[in-house]
Amino acid sequence: MCRMFAYIGDSYSELNELYRSLAKSAKFDEIRAGFSSKDNHRDGWGYAIYTQDHMYHYRTERAIFEDDHRLPKFKGPVWAVFHARSAADDSPIGGSMFSHPFFAASDKERIFLCQNGTIPRRMLPDGFPKHKMGTEYVLDNLVGYGVRAGVKRSITEFKGTNTNWLIMRIGRDATKPSIYCLNRYVKTDNPDRNEYYTMYQKRLPHGRAVFSSTLMKNGVSGGSVLPYSKLVRI
């Protein structure tokens, strides 16, 4: 289970504030503490940032709140997805290769994927490499079938799982990326658990963002809930 956000805009300050909010949320997750023995997200973090002049893809096994990292400076439009990881019990820990966002490319596009949720290994098809994670299987679907068809296929295959996704797609023939969000989870009788998985959106003075609920406890205010179980292009 993880915390994450996406941002489209042209403000370094807004992106940096979201980053700081994510770090605070990862250090102590007030909502998660209401239903889980774990109250942090320390198993690595990373981001993908696309500007007019640069593409940055950063992943580390360090906790976001322990990593002395400064975001790259930029001017003009920016597209970004960020993720702070808390590994599932049956998932590997240690090594930046397990941190999100994951990346894959085809002849038509490049895709970055962040996930909040768990796809148990028992749900993966026979023959899927044991050294790869469920998130990477979803990424294979996105690359192989396209974003919308890949999401639909993955939802069908992993029905009954919690799968919030942030997807940044960069077409090889396009100058601007697209960012998609899926706010989808298994609803329960526990309000804290439901709120934990709920994704929010907010229009900012210089951009717009979607983000995990705990960021609302750490500096991001006034967000509205994203439509449930609907792939939204932000």
Lowest mean pLDDT among 8-22, 115-129, 131-145, 187-201: 115-129
Q: Cα(161)–Cα(152) distance, rounded to whole angstroms?
A: 14
Assigned fold of 3-233: Glutamine Phosphoribosylpyrophosphate, subunit 1, domain 1 (3.60.20)
pTM: 0.95
Q: For the chain, give the mean pLDDT.
A: 92
Q: Which pLDDT band, with edges at 50, 70 and 90, does 134 fall under?
A: confident
DSSP-based three-state secondary structure for 44: coil
- Tell me phi and psi for residue 189, to 5 degrees: -85, 0
Q: Could you state, in order of their start, the residue ranges of all structural domains in the chain?
A: 3-233
Q: Over the stretch 28-57, which tens digit does the pLDDT of each residue have? A: 999 999 998 889 999 999 999 999 889 999
Instruction: Check residue 160 and give its pLDDT.
Output: 82
Looking at the chain, the whole-number percentage of residues with pLDDT higher than 90 is 73
Q: How far apart are CA 51 and CA 102, in angstroms?
A: 19
Percent of the chain with pLDDT over 70: 96
Region 198-206: mean pLDDT is 97
User: What pLDDT, on a 0 to 100 scale, did the predictor assign at position 93?
Assistant: 59
Cis? peptide before 101, omega within 30° of 0? yes
